[in-house]
Amino acid sequence: MNKSKVAIVVNKTVSIIQMIVAIAIFAFFGLYTLIYIFDADTRASGGIEALVFCLIFDALGVWLFTLSRKKSKLIKEFKKYVSAVSNDPDGYIPDIAASLGTSEDVVRKNLELMIKKKFFVNAFIDKDSNCIKILNRQNTAAVQQQRANIPYNTPIQATPTEMVTVKCSGCGGINTLRKGEVGECDYCGSAIKAE
């Protein structure tokens, strides 16, 4: 499994666990809070400490529920962002924001979060040019030379081959490879093959 898929699966699992714990907290402590508020006998026997204790756990449940929803939303947004980034050759954030119908600040924040959570592999935000940069391992001479154990300053002989675009089945990103070449998706690291 590639790094991006692992990161997404881990985040999805954490989101589900957070949701289950939040529901359990609401079911127990939220119910007790409601009973405490509406039942005079419970108020008399429980004391204010019991209500404060339950309210603290209710707040924890709300916090976990909110975290779970944010993680789920970010995972759902990832494919939209991959599509927008792969369709913009420069990765210019204002153009990506326009294509998504969202503000630049939201797009930048989401991209930074997706990079931090390893949804995008080999990516960073270039603040000077206001772009997301994906290190394209298939097409950089330095990486090709590293793979072949050739010193970086040694020139590589160019061989004319047909380049084709390949859509990643993992994230939907558009990649360029030589015909017949096997590589990794520039956006999520999934294995792809140019047919």
Judged by phi (left if over 0) then psi (alpha if -120 to 50, else beta), residue 63 lies in alpha
**pLDDT at 142 (0 to 100):** 42
Closest residue by Cα to residue 188 from 111, 134, 124: 134
pLDDT digits (tens, 9 = 90+) for 33-78: 998 888 888 888 878 888 899 999 999 999 999 999 999 999 999 9
Please state, in angstroms and rounded to a whole number, the distance separating the CA atoms of residues 4 and 1. Answer: 8
Q: What angle do CA 50, 56, 62 make, to 5 degrees?
A: 135
Answer positive or negative: Cα dihedral of 4, 10, 11, 12: positive
**φ, ψ for residue 184, nearest 5 deg:** -115, 145
- Amino acid letter at 176? T
Please state, in angstroms and rounded to a whole number, the distance separating the CA atoms of residues 47 and 118. Answer: 47
The parts of the chain modelled with pLDDT lower than 70 are 1, 136-161
**pLDDT at 151 (0 to 100):** 54
Tokens of 72: 């789920």
**pLDDT at 136 (0 to 100):** 62
Closest residue by Cα to residue 32 from 12, 13, 52, 3: 52
